[in-house]
Amino acid sequence: MEEVTLKANKREIIGKKVKLLRRQGILPAVIYGRKTDSVPISLDEREVNRVLATISSSHLINLDIDGETLTTLIRDRQRHPVTGSILHIDFYEVSMTEKLTTAVNIIIRGESPAAKNLGGILVTGQETLEVECLPQDLPERFVVDISNLGEIGDTVYVRDIVIPSEVDLLTDPDEMVIVITAPAAEEEEIVEEVEITDEEPEVIERGKRDEEGEAEGESEGSDEE
The pLDDT assigned to 212 comes to 40
Query: What is the reported pTM?
Result: 0.72
Q: What is the CATH number of the domain that holds 56?
A: 2.40.240.10
The pLDDT assigned to 172 comes to 97
The pLDDT assigned to 184 comes to 74
The boundaries of the domain holding residue 106 are: 101-181
Residues 106 and 43 placed together within one structural domain of the fold: no
The pLDDT assigned to 105 comes to 95
Residues 21 and 84 placed together within one structural domain of the fold: yes
The pLDDT assigned to 202 comes to 40
Residues 67 and 117 placed together within one structural domain of the fold: no
Residues 124 and 161 placed together within one structural domain of the fold: yes
The pLDDT assigned to 17 comes to 84
Residues 56 and 12 placed together within one structural domain of the fold: yes
Q: How far is CA 85 from the centre of its chain?
A: 14
The pLDDT assigned to 16 comes to 82
Residue 196: inside a domain: no
Question: Which of 73, 94, 115 is the last residue before a domain boundary?
Answer: 94
The pLDDT tens digits along the chain (225 residues) read 678 999 999 998 888 888 889 999 999 999 998 777 899 999 999 999 999 999 988 899 999 998 899 999 999 999 989 988 999 999 999 999 999 999 999 999 999 999 999 999 999 999 999 999 999 999 999 999 999 999 999 999 999 999 999 999 999 999 999 999 998 754 444 445 545 444 434 433 333 344 344 434 444 444 445
Residue 124: inside a domain: yes
The pLDDT assigned to 1 comes to 67
Q: What is the CATH number of the domain that holds 114?
A: 2.170.120.20
Residues 81 and 138 placed together within one structural domain of the fold: no
* Tally of domains in the chain: 2
Residue 137: inside a domain: yes
The pLDDT assigned to 31 comes to 95
Residues 58 and 110 placed together within one structural domain of the fold: no
